[in-house]
Amino acid sequence: MPAITKGERFAITARMPTFAEQHLRQRAKDLDVPLGDFLGYSVLLAEGFDIPPESLRATPQLVRLYPSDQWREVTARQPADVAARIRRELTEVFPPEEEQLPLTG
């Protein structure tokens, strides 16, 4: 099975203050996302961009970078396959019995 890509991206090396290292690593671990994704997509959101559907398809846990009260709305805006992956990942928001129910309403 081919790997799911996150879409077109560019590479950058960034240096962060060492006092924040453990905190940032723990936040990424708590969200179950790679550290680089946590840092990069956090910046995108802070700058007013959305996380692209390709990235959410590959790593649906990234939806957790949005405020929790936006998870359902963000999921509803995604293509059907991406929304289904997010629903399977965010069982705290989308219990399995809700899998087939509408996202809004």
Q: What pLDDT does 89 receive? A: 86
Q: Please check the confidence at residue 81 and state whether its pLDDT lies above 80.
A: yes
Length of the chain: 105
Q: How many whole angstroms separate alpha carbon 102 and alpha carbon 37?
A: 29
Among 1-5, 23-27, 53-57, 75-79, which is the least confidently predicted range? 1-5
Q: What pLDDT does 104 receive? A: 55
Q: Please check the confidence at residue 100 and state whether its pLDDT lies above 60.
A: no
Please state whether the predicted TM-score (pTM) of the whole model is above 0.75. yes
> Regarding predicted confidence, which is higher, 69 or 95?
69
Q: What pLDDT does 29 receive? A: 95
Task: Give the helix ranges, DSSP H, for 1-105.
Answer: 21-31, 35-46, 53-58, 71-76, 80-89
